[in-house]
Amino acid sequence: MKTSFSHKITIVLLSLILLSSCQDLFNESNIKSNPNAVTDVDVATLLSGTLLGVSMLHEDTDVRISAIWAGELNGLSRQHQTIASYIVSASTFGWSPLYPVASQARLIQTKADAVGDKWTKGVGQVLEALVIAKATDLYGDIPYSQAFDDVKYPTPVFDKQADVYTALQTVLDNAIQNLSAPAGLAFADQDFIYKGSVAKWKAAAYTLKARLYLHTGDYAKAVTNASSGIGSTAGDALTPHGTSQGVDDNQNYDFFRINRAGDTGFDGAYLPVLMQSRIKSANTKTDETALYNHYFKVGISTTGALDPNTADGMFTEDAPHPILTYYENQLILAEAQARLGVTDKALAALNSVRAGLSGGYINGKTMSTTGRKYDAYTLSDFDPAGIANPTKLATTQTALLYEIIAQRYIFFLMQYEAFNDVRRLEKASPKVQLSIPLYAGTQKPQRYIYPQNEINTNPNVPKPLPDQFTKIPIFQ
C-alpha cells in the first residue's frame, strides 16, 4: 500500500488520526485556529489516508478479540489469555481510531461536495458506513448523529442502535445514488482497494446494506440488496499487503509471527474442531483439508502448537485481507433465501461459493489442490439421511441453514462478522446454531464495554453501564 510518496503521506495522516480523540480531527474552524495544524488536506490525499484507516480497522485488536469471543481463535498467553476467559474492563477498549477514521470519511464528503464530486462523496459514505457499522455491532448504542461536531456537541448523545442502523441504510442509499451519477472526479491513484472503479464501490455498498439487513432479520431486503451486490470474486474489497515489516505487511502476520507469537492460536478453539469433524464425515462431496491447512499450521510458535499459517497460507506477510467479498454476499443470499423458505435459490447461492472454493480462491489467495473438493450440492443432500445433514436435522430447510451457517463461520475467520453471527443466531428464526463451547464460565460475551475515556468525559454514556455479557439491542 505504501509504494509512492502519496501513500507515505497517508501514513502521516493516519498517525495524526491515531493520536487524536474521538472528536472531529479536521473540523475546519479548529484547523484554522491552530497555526501548527495541517491547513489544506486535499480530498484525494484524504481519501487515501481514510482507506488506510478503514483497512486497519478490519485487522486490529478488536477483530482479534471478536475471533476469540466467537470461538475461532484462542487466547493462550498474557492479555489474550485473560480475554479468552472473558475478563475485560473499560480500559481494554478504545474508540481511537474508530471515530477519527469515521470523521475523516465524513470530511471526504464535505470536501467532495465543495467541488461537486459525487463519486468520491459516495466512496466516503461507504467508508463511513463501514466504520460506524463496526462500532455499533460491537458496542450497541453509540454516538452518531452528534458525533462529528465537537464544537456544537462536545458530549454527543448515544443514539439507539436501531436508529443507527436506519441511518446507515440511508447513508448507503445516498452512496449508491452518488456512485450512480454520470460523472465525477477520477480517484484511481488514491484507491488501493478498487483502483477507482465506481461500479465496484456501488456493488460493495449493496453488499454492506444486505449485511445490515441480515443482522436485523429483514431477509427480503437482504436478498434484494445482495442481488445487486458484489457479483464475482473480482469485486472483492481486499486490503493489499506487501513484505515490508511495519510498512505494508499483513497485520495478522505481524501479530501472530513477529510481535506476539504464541499469545494466540488455535489449540482449544472450536473452528479447527468443526473443520476436522467435517473432514472426517461421510460427506463425499466435500473435502476441506486444503482450507484447513491454509488456515492452520503445526509448530510455528512452539513444537506441536496449532498456529495461524503464517508460512504459506492465510496469514502470510503479503496476504490480502477481506473487508467485503463475493463469498459473503452469496452467503447472505443463501441464508436469507433459506430463512424465507426459498431453498432452491439458497442452494444456488451456496453452490456458487463452493464453486469458487473448488477453484481454490479465497480472499485473493489460492489454496493447495491437495484435499480440495467442493462438488455442487442437491437439495436431497440435506434430507434427514443426506450426506450434508450429519446432525440429522428434521427438515431440508434447517439442514441447509446449518451448512450455510457453518460455511459462514469457517469463511469469516479473522473477520468480526463471525462474532456478529454467533450472537445474531441466538435470535434468528428458525433457530439453527453451531455448538460452540465456552472457554470459561457460564455466560457468552455479547458486546464490548464502553471505553474508559468515554465514561470519564461523556455524561451521556448509558447508565447503568452494560457489561460484556449484556446483549446489544439488535440481537435481543
Q: What is the pLDDT of residues 330-357, one digit of tens each?
A: 999 999 999 999 999 999 999 999 999 9
Q: pLDDT for 77-101, tens place per residue?
A: 999 999 999 999 999 999 999 999 9
**What's the 3-state SS for 377-414?**
CCHHHHCCCCCCCCCCCCCHHHHHHHHHHHHHHHHCCC
User: C-alpha cell of 394?
Assistant: 428434521
CA dihedral 182→183→186→187, nearest 10 degrees, is -60
Q: How far apart are CA 204 and CA 325, in angstroms?
A: 8
Gap between the terminal Cα atoms of the chain: 40
Query: CA 76 → CA 263, 415, 469, distances in Å?
Result: 5, 20, 21
Q: pLDDT for 122-154, tens place per residue?
A: 999 999 999 999 999 999 999 999 999 999 999
Q: pLDDT for 5-19, tens place per residue?
A: 233 334 444 444 443
- Cβ-Cβ contacts under 8 Å for 437 (sequence gap 6 or more): 71, 270
Q: How far apart are CA 435 and CA 67, in angstroms?
A: 16
Q: Is 302 left (phi over 0), alpha (psi -120 to 50) or beta?
A: beta
| Percent of the chain scoring above 90 in pLDDT | 89
Domain boundaries, the chain: 216-253+264-443
User: Is the CB of residue 121 less than 8 Å from the CB of residue 47?
Assistant: no
Q: How far apart are CA 303 and CA 72, in angstroms?
A: 21
Mean pLDDT to the nearest integer, 177-194: 95
Give the chain's count of helices (H) and strands (E). Answer: 18, 10
pLDDT of 315 over the 60 cut: yes
User: Is the CB of residue 212 less than 8 Å from the CB of residue 164?
Assistant: no
Confidence at residue 435, expressed as pLDDT on a 0 to 100 scale: 96
